[in-house]
Amino acid sequence: MVKADALLKVMARAWKLAPIDLDSTRVDFDLVRHWPGELYLEQNWVPVHDQSNGSVLVATARVPDAERASAIANVLESPVEFVAATSWDIRRTVLRGFRAEIDGDASTDRWRTNPSLSARVVLSKAQVTGGILGGLALLALAIAWPAALGAAVVTIAGAAYAGTTTFMLVLAVRGGTRRSAPPVAAQRQPDEVLPFYTVLVPVFRQAHAVPGMIASLSRLDYPVDRLEVLVLVEEEDRLTRDAIVRAEAPERFRIVSVPGGAPETRPRACNVGLFAARGEFLVVYGAEHEPAPDQLRRAIDTFAGGAADLVCVQASVDYSNAQRNTVTRLIALEQSAWAERVLPGIERSRLAVPAGGTSNHFRTTALIELGGWDPYNVSESVDLGIRASAVGYRVSPMDSITVERAAASVPALIRQRSRWLKGDLQTAFVHARQPVALIRRVGIARFLGTALLVVASPAVFLAVIPFYLLIAIALAVPGDVVATVVPAWALQAGIVLFVAGTIEMIVTAIGPVKQKVRGAATLCLLLPVYWILHSVAAYKALGQLFTRPHYWEKTDREPAPVLPATA
């Protein structure tokens, strides 16, 4: 690929213009901000400063023919003189000039335009009022009729647990009955017809992951002149920025500085990247992810084979360290059940497919139409999937794999799952604020199914520890003592429902899987213990929801070996 400085010299010579280095030239940003940044990005020019002869110096990355010169002069309402600049220099100048506006849009645009769909506030006033009244009612019932309340709580909780796990089992059965043809290679389209693609890679304090990131993304089988990789680096994160500079990444890798501010989350960084992106299609990867080399081409083929309402396709996840220890094997088993059975069942049931956090490929125009990501939601892609469904768009799985490394320790697992579950709770509370409006858009059946899907994980895992304690109490405490709080029939019914639901969860995890998990049958017997860890994560998530709702809990992963990159 031609180096940027060499390309600039060629452009300047061909257009008979002087080249300009916008980093070392005085740019009048007050002048720049007179017109929309989107205009400059779309048309590939930017005003530099006024000149003493009354004209405006304009940097352009396209040939300034008479038509273009006239159009730009009309916008600026002034004579213009041109200098040549690269597209990236122009975009970087626009990012610098509109830094405050971009930061504001990335952080608070959703809150300003539609606060009811923003997770910036955990609970609305109506939800707080309802919670207080409900709590007071429960307190009154506990004082007046403790045994009756205990019976109601245990049986309702058991029924809800069993009902939720039954729902997940039904989805798994529906997904598992789908005939799965062996994967075939995507038909290879000529390079010249492929659309421009943007890869967003949000990073934060991940200097150690930079060599692997550059190597894995350099292996993408996509024409380099139709691909850009925007590495989104927080302004304060000098170590990661310096590591990228030292690595001397290929020209298609560009650093985008994310302005310092709150919340310090991945979706906020991605919103900044969305402003800078110029691809017709866009994908988000993590710094430690290794997508299949042909994944971008497969995504294009999947979009081409789908209807116009298909706005996002997502690759499956495989774990390179799945056999590392019992924790990683359980994670791999769980992911296999989700990808091979539950997710296809969700799609077949026409529910809102919850997008994964990364390896999501979007039509960029649709993503912009949806308003990008909610920066305050720590499971931002789940929320985005519901918003897409609400306006008639679809999210669908695609036949491709992205490899990453699973959390390999109990503390790392709890940190990761607590963030996921906190995001599920945020999403549930956000979309419960205007349920009637959502029902009108998607219908009652899809609303109930999607609501149950979002609430399923936190609700089930919040119930695990209490029911385990209930079983222990039933075994250790005399029945007449327990009966003063929970009648025997209610206790037995609740435990039976819990055990039945637990068996259903185990059955959901069993079935044909693409990622062969060694000893899957034996691992299934460990799932009840594994769910205790999820229950701990769920209570941590519930606590953080009200104390640190927008805190982004990073997952610590073992570093992956760096494989050689290809040009």
Q: Which tens digit of pLDDT belongs to each residue from 297-326?
A: 999 999 998 888 999 999 999 999 988 999
How do 290-291 and 394-404 pair as beta strands? Answer: antiparallel
First-to-final CA distance of the chain:
9
Give yes or no for residue 180 having a pLDDT over 50: no
Q: What is the pLDDT at residue 237? A: 92
Residue 416: is its pLDDT beyond 80?
Answer: yes
Give the per-residue pLDDT at 100.
86
Put residue 511 in one of left, alpha, beta given phi > 0 → left and psi -120 to 50 → alpha.
left
The DSSP bridge partners found for residue 396 are: 313
122 contact partners, CB below 8 Å, separation of at least 6? 426, 429, 545, 546, 549
Query: What 8-state DSSP symbol labels residue 224?
Result: G
Q: Which residue has the tokens 């999820």?
A: 534
Residue 52 pLDDT: 92
pLDDT exceeds 80 at position 512: no
Is the confidence at residue 216, as pLDDT, over 90? yes
Structure-token match 């590392």, residue found: 324
Q: In 190-287, at which residue ranges do the beta strands (DSSP E only) sit?
A: 197-203, 227-234, 253-258, 281-284
Specify the pLDDT at position 364. 95
How far is Cα 8 from Cα 5, in angstroms, rounded to an integer? Answer: 5
At residue 548, does pLDDT exceed 60? yes
Q: Judge residue 313's burial from the number of C-beta atoms within 10 Å of its C-beta, 0-12 exposed, 13-18 middle, 19 or more buried.
A: buried
Q: What's the pLDDT tens digit per position in 359-377?
A: 899 999 999 999 899 999 9
pLDDT score recorded for residue 486: 87
Task: Report how far Cα 299 is from the mean position of its chain's Cα atoms.
Answer: 17
Diameter over CA atoms, the chain: 97
E-assigned strand segments in 30-156 = 45-50, 56-60, 80-84
* Count helices and strands in the chain by DSSP H and E runs: 22, 11
Residue-level pLDDT at 299? 95
Domain spans in the chain, listed from the N-terminal domain onward? 4-97, 121-194+291-567
User: What's the whole-model pTM score?
Assistant: 0.88
Question: What are the pLDDT digits (tens) for 67-109?
Answer: 999 999 999 999 999 999 999 999 999 999 998 888 888 777 7
The fold of the 4-97 domain, in CATH, is: GMP Synthetase; Chain A, domain 3 (3.30.300)
